[in-house]
Amino acid sequence: MNGKPRALIIYTGGTIGMVKDSFTGSLMPVNFERLIANVPEIAKLDIELDIHTFEPTIDSSNVSPEHWIRLVEVIESNYDRYDGFVILHGSDTMAYSASAISFMVENLSKPIIFTGSQLPIGVLRTDARENFITALEIAVTKEFGRPKVSEVCIYFEYHLLKGNRTTKFSSSHFNAFTSANYPFLAEAGVQIQFNDPMLRIYNGKPTRFYKKLDSNIAILKVFPGMSQAYVKTILGISGLRAVVLETFGSGNAPTDDWFIHEIQTAINAGIIVLNVTQCLSGTVMQGKYKTSTQLGNIGVLSGEDITTEAAVTKLMFLLGNSDDAQLIKEQLAKPLREEFTLNNWE
């Protein structure tokens, strides 16, 4: 591509594109032209911009795997025409969407950056303008003629984060996302400082796009006092293929005979069970304590330090593209998109 750098903005909806209804006082979506009018600074960027708007726009709470497939289709059909992509998205499920797209696009050679805001773009104190402008700037940044970033990211409140390592942890602060187990990729101040050792290097292989997902999974969160009926009901869902087991601390769960029996029964029936910690930071260490040893013995897989968002979307991706349970288990045990760190605690 010659001349000015080019970026495609994909506007899905979310708080960033909301304005307050003068009659009801509630927030309502606006069209993209009105959104852009609130960011006149964009005209000063030396970037050619095109826009693809989801019709209708969606609140991120309504995001589904079908929307992720639509996103991948838009990116694939425009991949060779742009230097980078910026996806405007609601923050509530942004970590899920960024994780999903990271698995659905293999051998990425340019940036796909999700951003949004905690306050609507028309509000005086909004965080939307800075998030939007800086995300665009990063999306077209090159070094030695190549994109500086070649992965799926989230840009929020001065930090660029690896998309499949993020979790939304605050509903009230501008700094809404954390990447507790992976350093930030860049920090925006007077200049944008890239954390070069943490940036993924494009491997030179052809980019591949996947558009099959299987959402026959469940999250089973353990808590003190949970009943056998609760566990049995979740594990007995018709068509269930995999479970994200959210455990305490470093992968610990009750050792009650009934609990181990229910999990083992599910595994024997062919359901994949992936152990993920409820903690925002840290890793699963199955076998370190007695309360996790039995899980490993019956076939529960360790999720290491993967986030719940990445675990859910990785399972959807793997189940959607294979019926081979052993292959899926092997793929879960290794990082496909740097979504977890292999621990060596033993």
From CA 285, how far away is CA 269, in angstroms rounded?
25
Contacts from 171-176 at CB under 8 Å and sequence distance 24+?
172/118, 173/118, 174/118, 174/127, 176/91, 176/118
CB of 121 within 8 A of CB of 16? yes
CA-nearest of 129, 63, 127 to 101 is 63
User: How far, in Å, CA of 204 to CA of 214, rounded?
Assistant: 29
Q: How many residues does the chain have?
A: 346
Amino acid in the structure at residue 108: L
- 277 catalytic? Reply is no
The DSSP string of 121-144 is TTSTT-SHHHHHHHHHHHHT-EET
Q: Which of 15, 93, 115, 277 is catalytic?
A: 15
Question: Which residues are part of the catalytic machinery?
Answer: 15
